[in-house]
Amino acid sequence: MMFNLIRNEHIKIFYKKGNQVLVLIFAIGCLLLALMTKNILSSSGDNESFADYFVFSTNFLFLLQFVSVIIAGSIVANEYDWGTIKFLLIRPAQRSKVLLSKYLTVLLVGVYLLVGYAIFAFLYGFVFFGISDFAGDFDNVRNIFLRYMTTFVEISVMSTFAFTLSTVFRSSVIATGTSIFLILTGRTFVEVLAHYQISWGKYILFANTNLTQFFSGNRPLFREMTFTGSIITLCIYLGVFIAASWYAFTKRDVAN
C-alpha cells in the first residue's frame, strides 16, 4: 500500500509540466556552471582539471534547496487547489499513510536532486576537463562527501518546513514563498546575531542547518555551538514540523 502511494506521488510530481521545466532549468544550470568554472580557471591561469571543477561545483549545492522547497511546498497544497483531496482521502489508505507517502516522496526528491547534480557534475566535468585521478586524494573525496551529506540535511530541513506550511495553510504560494524568503535571509539574520554575540541566536533554525561550520577547520557561528547540539536542535525542529503537519492533515475537515 505505502509503495503504491509513493509511486503515485512520484507520477504526479514528474508528470507535472512545471516540474519538468524545473528539471530542464536544473540541467541547463549545471551546464552553465561548468562553462563558468572553465572560464574562471582559464582566465586565472590555474590548472584546469576535473577534480578542481568537481570540488568547485559543491559551492553551488545550496541552490538545490530552492528546487526542493518548490516541490515540497506544493505537494499537499496542490491537492486542495486541484480539488483532488477528497478523492485522495476516500481511498482505503489512512490519512497518516497518505501524508507519510507525500513526506517520504519529498525526502526522496532531495536525494534525486543531489544524485542528479553529482551525475551532471561528473558528465560536464568529463566533457570540459577530462578525467583526472583524484580518487586517491582523500581530502578532496572527504570534503565532497561531507558537502553532499550536509547539503542533504539542509534540503531535508527546509523541505520539511515547506511541507509543513503547505499542509497547514494549504497554499503553495505561502509555503514556497516563505521558505525561499527564509533561505535567502535566515542565514544573514543569525550572522548579525552572532556578530553582536546574542547567544540565544544559536537556537534559531538557520544557525544550525549549515553543518559544514563544524568541519574542515571552520568556526561555528556561536562559540558555544557544537555538532551534537545542532543535530539535537534540528531534530527538535523537525519533530515540531512533522507533528504540526500530521495534526493539520489528519484532524482538519476536508470541506474546510
| More reliable by pLDDT, 140 or 3 | 3
Rounded average pLDDT over 73-86: 84
- The full set of domain ranges for the chain reads 2-251
Give tens-digit pLDDT for 127-168: 887 776 555 566 778 888 899 999 999 999 999 999 999 999
pLDDT value of position 226: 93
For residue 6, the model assigns a pLDDT of: 92
Longest dimension (CA), the chain: 64
Instruction: Spell out the residues 6+ positions from residue 90 whose beta carbon is closer than 8 angstroms to its own.
Output: none
C-alpha cell at 203: 537556537
More confident residue, 19 or 120: 120
User: What percentage of residues in the chain have a pLDDT greater than 90?
Assistant: 49
- Higher confidence at residue 50 or residue 68? 68
Higher pLDDT, 174 or 38: 174
Taking alpha carbons only, the member of 35, 10, 16, 109 closest to residue 66 is 109
Q: Which three cell numbers stand for residue 77?
A: 497544497
Average pLDDT over residues 58-65: 90
Integer Cα distance of 143 and 215 in angstroms: 9
Q: Name the band, by pLDDT with cuts 50, 70 and 90, for residue 255.
A: low
Q: List phi, psi (to 5°) of 215.
A: -125, 165
For 151-210, how does the pLDDT look when each residue is reduced to its tens digit (9 = 90+)? 999 999 999 999 999 999 999 999 999 999 999 999 999 999 998 989 999 999 999 999
In this predicted structure, the answer to whether residue 217 has a pLDDT above a threshold of 80 is no
The whole-number pLDDT of residue 136 equals 55
Look up cell 477528497; give the residue.
86
